[in-house]
Amino acid sequence: MARCTWLFPAGIILHSYQESVEMVPDFAKLGAYFSLFGYLMSMKPQKAKKMLKSVPTERILLESDSPDVLPRSNLDALL
pLDDT tens for each residue of 21-59: 899 998 988 889 998 876 677 778 888 888 889 999 999
- How many domains does one find in the chain? 1
* Burial of residue 49 (number of CB atoms within 10 Å: 0-12, 13-18, 19+): middle
- φ, ψ of residue 13 to 5 degrees: the values are -115, 125
Domain limits at 48?
2-78
pLDDT confidence band for 6 (50 / 70 / 90):
low
